[in-house]
């Protein structure tokens, strides 16, 4: 296979193919800081979060929020954030060079950014081990996962690296695997916990089993995620125009879409 990548691009490509993910510094830190500041402004409209510093409000959310109110609180914040027209471009800017290397330079992007808030010792916000393709996502999608706080150990997410995935591939849907708990116990020794600092991101292959567990740290996790794929790659249940929207069509593609072949008279 012909390969015109330079050495740094080749290194990142190999890393992604071997692990199924990369952890890298954010492309545009000013865009991430804008997102975090916007979160902070929304938080400060909440009665329990007034006059609390930005970092304290995020890492110590559990000290100011009743667990039973978490989902309503999370949905209100992410809905308000998604109303900001700049949000998706800022998010894309955080990961642009890596997405263009790993996914392509003519991309579609999920229309809404997702938000996860995981309080310490709270089992109400768990994503059991899963792969997104098992529930109708395209294998051509990649997820850009961006934390708003430092994430480590159980405050982060886990993934089964691609180098280990082959070991379990034929066993994932075995009749012996009764539920996600069985699957987790089967693969947990080979799972990789991803330590990601604020100012870094993960881009991962959502064909690989991943998820989280109860946050056993004394800090709250805030993280965002969004899916990207090449505009001309195969789609699954999530379609362009419904779930995805083009964000980087090139001029020749725009021209080609509008082109009508002349009729040939016989």
- Going by C-beta distance under 8 Å and a sequence separation of 6 or more, which residues neighbour residue 95? 26, 27, 144, 146, 201, 203, 228
Model confidence at 48: pLDDT above 80: yes
Mean pLDDT for the chain?
94
Q: Can you tell me the distance from the alpha carbon of 26 to that of 239, in angstroms, rounded to the nearest whole number?
A: 28
In this structure, CATH architecture of domain 7-258: Sandwich (2.60)
- Going by C-beta distance under 8 Å and a sequence separation of 6 or more, which residues neighbour residue 198? 32, 36, 147, 148, 149, 150
Give me the residue spans of the domains in the chain. Answer: 7-258
Res. 178 pLDDT band, cuts 50 70 90: confident
Torsion of CA 251, 28, 222, 45, to 10 degrees: -90
Model confidence at 266: pLDDT above 80: no
pLDDT in tens, 9-31: 999 999 999 999 999 999 999 99
């Amino acid at each position: 296979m012909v390969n015109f990548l330079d050495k740094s691009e080749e290194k990142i490509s190999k890393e992604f193919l071997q692990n199924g993910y990369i952890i890298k510094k954010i492309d545009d830190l000013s865009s991430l800081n804008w997102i975090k500041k916007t979160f902070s402004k929304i938080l400060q409209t909440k009665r329990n979060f007034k006059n609390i510093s930005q970092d304290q409000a995020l890492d110590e959310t559990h000290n100011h929020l009743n667990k039973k109110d978490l989902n309503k609180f999370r949905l209100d914040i992410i809905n308000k954030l998604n109303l900001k027209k700049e949000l998706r471009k800022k998010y894309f800017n955080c990961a642009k060079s890596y997405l263009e290397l790993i996914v392509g330079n003519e991309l579609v992007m999920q229309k809404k950014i997702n938000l996860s808030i995981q309080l310490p010792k709270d089992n109400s916000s768990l994503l059991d081990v899963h792969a997104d393709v098992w529930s109708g996502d395209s294998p051509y999608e990649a997820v850009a996962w961006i934390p708003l706080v430092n994430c480590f150990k159980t405050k982060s997410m886990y993934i089964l690296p691609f180098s280990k995935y082959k070991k379990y591939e034929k066993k994932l849907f075995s009749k012996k695997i009764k539920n996600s708990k069985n699957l987790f116990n089967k693969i947990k020794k080979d799972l990789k916990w991803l330590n990601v600092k604020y100012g870094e991101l993960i881009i991962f292959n959502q064909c690989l089993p991943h998820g989280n567990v109860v946050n056993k740290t004394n800090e709250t996790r805030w993280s965002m995620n969004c899916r990207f794929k090449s505009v001309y790659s195969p789609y699954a249940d999530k379609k362009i125009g419904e779930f995805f929207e083009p964000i980087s069509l090139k001029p020749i593609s725009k021209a080609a879409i509008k082109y009508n072949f002349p009729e040939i008279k016989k």
